[in-house]
Structure formats: C-alpha cells, structure tokens
Amino acid sequence: MLKPMSDATFAEVLRIRQRYIEGKDARLQRAQGEVEVSGFPGSLSVLNGKLTLRSESWNHQPAWHRQSGSKEEVFLYRDSADSKWVLGLELGDGHSRMAHVYTSLESPAEGLVWEVDCGDRWLPYLPATVRTAIPATFQGDDAPAHTAPKSKRSRAKSDEKGKRSAKDPSKESVVREADMPNCVCT
C-alpha cells in the first residue's frame, strides 16, 4: 500500500537529489581520461577501441565517446535510472544500447560486459571488458598484457583447454562467437 509522502520527507528527497546533481563535476574530475573496450567479435566489434572522456557529463555521470572517423561513434555512459553503464551508438536514457557494463564501482573502467543484445533476448558475453586505457608509452613488445584479471579457476580452465570457452553452449545461456551475427542494437 502506498503512503503519501510528508512535506518534510519530500524536501529531504529533493535535497538528496540536488546533492547528487551538484556532485557531477567531482565525478567528472575523478573519471579516467580514456577507457578501452575490448573482446567484442563479429558485428559488435564496432564497440571495441579507446573511448575518450567527454567534457560534459551525461545523466549527471561521466561519459566517454569515440568520435566519428574510421569507425562508428560509440558512447559509454550511465543510464538515466543510475543502475548500469551502457555501451551504445548514441547518448540517451540507456534503453537504446548494445551492451550493459555492470560494476559496483564508480568507474566503468573496471567493469565486465555482462550482457549483449541478441535481438529477442539479452545474453551474457563474458570475454568483453572495459578497462582503463594503457598510455601509448607503455604499449609495445615489453608492455604487460592488458587483460581482465582471471580467477584461479578460470586460469586453470584456460590452461587446460588452451582458450576460454562458454559455460554450456547447449543451454544457450552464454553468447558464443557464432551467435554474434544475430546480436544487434535495439
């Protein structure tokens, strides 16, 4: 049963919202200058690459973009409900997206891409990640590999099989590379 909100409670909600909005500049200053999206094969590979921090926040949170050039414009931003980071080809409220990036951290630069849009359903695609971009001065043959950290269990599985594989392809609970042509932006 819904109860009416008192004037004092409503005023407190407005104060909390105002503090959140006022904090957008501080969040923007703490944000990473560049993030790198990797691991998307096939038709979703357009999402891969370095994204640069925008000078303006979006939905009161930092947002990153890759400007037009040789590839399509891509955006990484917080949805309007403040529940997840999203990857898409345009800024919006988060409903028109290609992938979700879930993380409990303030920055999506430590997030795993948990779901991709496969037309009629959202499925996990665990090889894709978002990380802080490696500065160009550290890239090269001697540079450390820039990959997502693996648990002991997944390292053991990778060593056994030679590569990371889906949990159980027969249950269609995880997107496989073969499914990628069916995955599209909604």
pLDDT tens-place string over residues 97-140? 777 776 666 777 766 677 777 777 777 777 777 888 876 554 45
The region of weakest confidence among 6-15, 97-106, 175-184 is 175-184
Pairing of β 129-132 and β 122-123: unpaired
Q: How far apart are CA 129 and CA 101, in angstroms?
A: 8
**Are the beta carbons of 34 and 50 closer than 8 angstroms?**
yes
Residues 31 and 51 sit within 8 Å (Cβ to Cβ): no
Query: Is the backbone of residue 42 left (phi > 0), alpha (psi -120 to 50) or beta?
Result: left
Would you say residue 82 lies in a domain?
yes
Parent domain of 97: 31-136+146-156
Number of domains in the chain: 1
Task: Report if residue 13 sits inside a domain.
Answer: no
- What's the mean pLDDT when you consider all of the chain? 72
Residue 58 maps to a domain: yes
pLDDT of residue 111: 65
Pull the structure tokens for residue 157: 């599985």
Query: Which of 6-15, 34-43, 154-163, 176-185 has the weakest average pLDDT?
Result: 154-163
- For the chain, helix, strand, coil in percent to 5 are 25, 25, 50
Amino acid, res. 60: H
Is 103 buried (19+), middle (13-18) or exposed (0-12) by CB count in 10 A? middle
Task: With respect to residue 127, please indicate whether it lies within any of the assigned structural domains.
Answer: yes
Pairing of strands 85-88, 110-117: unpaired
In a domain, 72, yes or no: yes
In a domain, 165, yes or no: no
Q: Are 62 and 53 in contact (CB under 8 A)?
A: yes
- The lowest-confidence range among 65-74, 85-94, 122-131, 173-182 is 173-182
The verdict on residue 171 lying in a domain is no
The verdict on residue 173 lying in a domain is no
Low-confidence winner among 6-15, 39-48, 145-154 (lowest mean pLDDT) = 145-154
pTM of the model: 0.64
For 26-40, 127-141, 155-169, which range has the lowest pLDDT when averaged over its residues? 155-169
Residues 120 and 143: beta-carbon distance below 8 Å? no
